[in-house]
Amino acid sequence: MVKHEKMFIYYLASLVFWGVAGISKLLIAQNFITPFERSKGRETATYQETIEFYSALARKYPKYVRINSYGATDAGKPLHLVILSQNSIFLASEAKKKNKRIFLINNAIHPGEPDGVDASMLFARDWAMQPQLRKMLSEIVILIIPIYNIEGALNRGCCSRANQNGPIAYGFRGNGQNLDLNRDFIKCDSRNARTFIQIFQEWDPDFLADNHTTNGADYQYTMTLLATQHNKLGLKMGNYLKKELLPQIYNAMDSAGYAICPYVYTKGETPESGIIEFWDTPRYSTGYAALFHCFGFVPEAHMLKPFKNRVMATYTLMHCLARILNRNAPTIAKLRQESKQQVVVQEDFALSWNLDTLKVNKILFKGYAVERKPSKITQLLRLYYNHNEPYEKEIAFYDEYSPTLLIKKPLAYIIPQAWYRVIELLKLNQVVLHRLRQDTVLEVEVYYIEDYKTLSKPYEHHYLHYEVKVRKEIQHIQYFAGDYVIITDQPRNRYIIETLEPQGEDSFFCWNFFDSILQQKEYYSDYIFEEVADSLLQVIPELKLAFEKKRIQNIEFSKNARAQLDFIYYHSPYYEKQHNRYPITRYLKNIDFSFLEKSISKDK
C-alpha cells in the first residue's frame, strides 16, 4: 500500500472514530458546517440549504469548486451540477482534452433516502478544503448532482418511510408527476431524466454512483453495494469489474471500518437462502450507464442503521470510489475505449437474459439468526431477526446471467420521421443520425408483432409490454425525404439496439411508444364482404385450400361465420399491411453505403 493510500485510510478511520460531533468541533471555525452536523446526525439538509451550501463553497474555493444550473426539472427549478476539479477543469471538453476520468455522483433520486445528499456535502467540503485529499485525486474530475428528484425533496415529511431509522424529516419517492425517477432513464417521461441524460452524455462518466438507502432484510452491514451486472458490460469490462474493481472497493471499505457486502436481494425469504445479483435493466441508472460502457454503482445504506452511520458509510464509500478511479485511471480509460471500439463492429447482441443458478459463488456474510415468534397483532407466527444471535458464515451468491435471446444487428435502422418522440431521445443520447434528402423505396426487413403480454395495472405512467414475439418479412417500403437512418457503426450501438429492437426488455416498444400500430384502422361489413370473399376464393387457389383445410380440422371454426370471413379477410389484399407492423425497419443488404451518401446527410 502506497503512502498516500495509508494516509487516506487513516483519515477515513479517524472520521469514524471522532464521530460527527468531533467533525463539527474541528471545522466549526470554517463556517461550512452542514445541517447534518449541526443536528448531530439527526437531520438531512433541505433542497434550499443544499444549493446554498454548494454555492457558498464555490464562492470560497473557485479554483476547485463550481456549481452550474444544467437544465429543467418537473419542479420548475434547475438541476444543478457541482464540479470538483484539482486543475480548474470545469468543462467536459476540457476534461476530455486533459484525459481526465469522470466520477458522477447522483443523490436523492429517491429523496426519502437522503444519505448521499449529506455525505456528498461533507465529501465536497473536505475535498475543497484539504490539500492532502486533492493531491490523491489528480487524474479525475468529480461531478455531484446535489438533489436529482427536486420535486420529491420539496415534498418533505416524517413518515413515508415506515421502516427507516431517521432522519427526522425527508423527501418523498415520487417526483412531481409521481414518477419513480429510477425507472425513467429510457422512457424519459420527466424533465429531470432528460437533463440527467444531457449531463451524462456530455461528460461520459467512467464511474456512476447513485446513492440509495435499502429496504429488506436485516443484517450487520451499514452499507451494501449494487454494481452493474458484470455479464452485461462485456467480457473485458465485466471481468475487470468483478475481479479487480469490486475487490478493491471491498478491501478499502473494510480498512476504513465499514465492511460491506453485495446488495441483499435474497433468493428466498431471508439471506440464508442466498443473494442474487440484482438485474439492472436499462430503466435503472446502472443499467442505463452500462449501455454506454460506464461502471455503475448503487450504494445501498441499510435503512435500520442510524442515519448518522449511514451518511458516514456513504461518505466513506464516495472517497473509496474516487481514490480507486484515480489510481486505476489509465487502465479504466483503456478498457472503456476498447469496449467502445468493440461494440462498433460487434454483430450479435443479447436482448434478454436468465439467472444461471448452476453457477454459484460463496461469500462470507454477517447476518442475524432468523427466528419466529407469535405476533402481538395477529397472534400468528412472524419472522424476526435476533440481534442477540449474530453470525458470520458462507452463503450462496448468484451473480452469473446467460443470454436467452441474441439478435444480429442490421447494417442500419430506418425510422420514419413521424415517430419524433423516439427520434428526440436518440438525439438526446447523442446517437449519430442521418436523414434522407429525397423520397426513395428501400428493401428492408420488417417485424410484425405476433404476440405480447401487458401489465394489467399502470406501471410508471405506462402499461408495460413484455414477452414480445415477432415474425419477420422482407418488404419494399416507401420512405420520404426527412426520414431517419441510423447506421450501426457507432459506440452507442447497445443503446440503439436495446431500445429499437421490440423484444428488448426496456425497448421503446415495451414502453408503449408504438402502441398505435396495434390498432387496426380498416374493417369490413359482413353482408358486403360475402361476395368479395367468394371471389377471392375463386381466384386465389392457395387461399381456398388453406380455408377448406381449416374448416375440416377446426370444428369451432366451421361453425363460426365471422371467424371464417375474418380468415379470408386477413389473408387477402384488403387487410392493411400496417396493422401490427413495427415501424422501425432493419436494412440488411451488404452493400456499399456510398449510394446513400448523395441522399443522406448527417442530422444537425
- pLDDT tens by residue, 37-77: 999 999 999 999 999 999 999 999 999 999 999 999 999 99
pLDDT at residue 598 is higher than 50: no
Cell of residue 11, nine digits: 483519515
DSSP state of 332: H
Residues 6+ apart with CB under 8 A from 15: 23, 312, 315, 316
Concatenated DSSP letters for 80-107?
A: EEEEE-TT---SHHHHHHTT-EEEEEE-
* pLDDT beyond 50 at 29: no
**pLDDT-derived band of residue 215, with 50, 70 and 90 as boundaries?**
confident
The Cα–Cα gap between 28 and 424 comes to 49
What DSSP state is assigned to residue 581? Answer: B
Provide the edge-to-edge strand list for the sheet that holds 465-479: 465-479, 440-454, 585-587, 412-415, 484-487, 434-436, 600-602
256, 373: one domain: no
Cα–Cα nearest to 321, from 213, 399, 431, 209: 209
d(CA 515, CA 449): 11
Short-list 283, 280, 312, 320, CA closest to 296: 280
Provide the angle, in degrees to the nearest 10, between the axes of the packed helices 307-327 and 246-255. 130
Which is more confidently placed, 31 or 471?
Answer: 471
**36 and 86 within one domain:** yes
Higher-pLDDT residue of 350 and 524 is 350
CB proximity list for 272: less than 8 A, separation 6 or greater: 367, 370, 395
**Residue 599 pLDDT > 80, yes or no?**
no
Confidence at 589, pLDDT banded by 50, 70, 90: confident
Quote the domain boundaries for residue 437: 410-520+578-602
Are 480 and 418 spatial neighbours (Cβ–Cβ below 8 Å)? no
Claim to verify: residue 380 and residue 462 sit in the same structural domain: no
Of 232-236, 491-495, 521-525, which one has max mean pLDDT? 491-495
Average pLDDT for 296-315: 98
Which residues fall within 8 angstroms of residue 404, CB to CB, at 6 or more apart?
A: 350, 352, 353, 354
Contact 182, 190 (CB under 8 A): no
Confidence band, pLDDT 50/70/90 cuts, at residue 10 = low
Q: In terms of domains, do 558 and 584 share one?
A: no
Same domain for 489 and 386: no
Pair (126, 212) in one structural domain: yes
CA distance 442 to 411: 13
Residue identified by cell 464555490 is: 58
The rounded distance, in Å, linking the Cα atoms of 12 and 237 is 29
Query: CA-based angle 500:505:508, to the nearest 5?
Result: 35
Task: Say yes or no: 127 and 215 in one domain.
Answer: yes
DSSP-assigned beta bridge partners for residue 394: 364
Write out the DSSP string of 411-480: SEEEE-TT-HHHHHHHHHTT---EEESS-EEEEEEEEEEEEEEE-SS-BTTB--EEEEEEEEEEEEEEE-
Closest CA to 440 of 585, 590, 582: 585
- Residue 17: exposure state from Cβ atoms within 10 A (0-12, 13-18, ≥19): exposed
How far apart (Å, rounded) are the C-alpha atoms in residues 412 and 444? 10
For the chain, the average pLDDT equals 93
The model's pTM is 0.93
Q: Can you tell me which residue has the cell 423505396? A: 441
| Lowest mean pLDDT across 143-157, 363-377, 518-532 | 518-532
Give the mean model confidence (pLDDT) for residues 95-107: 98
DSSP 219: B
The model's pLDDT over 318-329, given as tens digits with 9 standing for 90+, comes to 999 999 999 999
pLDDT at 17 over 60: no
pLDDT digits (tens, 9 = 90+) for 358-394: 999 999 999 999 999 999 999 999 999 999 999 999 9
Tens of pLDDT, residues 112-148: 999 999 999 999 999 999 999 998 889 999 999 999 9
Report residue 197's pLDDT band, with 50, 70 and 90 as the boundaries: very high
Task: Identify whether residues 170 and 270 lie together within a single domain.
Answer: yes
pLDDT above 70 for 574: yes
pLDDT digits (tens, 9 = 90+) for 443-485: 999 999 999 999 999 999 999 999 999 999 999 999 999 999 9
> In the block, which residue shows the cell 395495472?
457
Strand residues in 260-329 grouped as ranges (E)? 260-262, 275-276, 295-302
Helix 329-345 / helix 493-500 crossing angle, nearest 10 deg: 50
How far is 494 from 115, CA to CA, in rounded Å? 32
195-229 as b/e, with b when 16 or more CB fall inside 10 Å?
bbbbbbbbbbbbbbbbbbbbebbbbbbbbbbbbbb
- Indicate the residue type of 516: S
Confidence grade of residue 274 (pLDDT, cut at 50, 70, 90)? very high
pLDDT recorded at residue 79: 98
Same domain, 540 and 509: no
**Which domain CATH number covers 257?**
3.40.630.10
**Cα distances (Å, whole numbers) of residue 287 to 215, 228, 499, 509:** 20, 7, 12, 18
> What does the alpha-carbon distance between residue 104 and residue 84 come to, in Å, rounded to a whole number?
10
Residue scoring higher pLDDT (12 or 276)? 276
Grid cell listed for 317: 464509500
Same domain, yes or no, for 65 and 146?
A: yes
Q: Model confidence at 30, in pLDDT bands (50, 70, 90)? A: low
Long-range contacts of 95-101 (CB under 8 A, 24+ apart): 95/141, 95/203, 96/204, 99/333, 100/139, 100/140, 100/141, 101/139, 101/140, 101/141, 101/206, 101/207, 101/325, 101/326, 101/329, 101/332, 101/333
The total of structural domains in the chain comes to 4
Q: Is the pLDDT of residue 355 over 90?
A: yes
Shared-domain flag, residues 104 and 27: yes
Q: Are residues 542 and 596 in the same domain?
A: no
Q: Report whether the peptide linkage leading into residue 247 is cis, meaning its omega lies within 30 degrees of zero.
A: no
Q: Are 462 and 511 in contact (CB under 8 A)?
A: yes
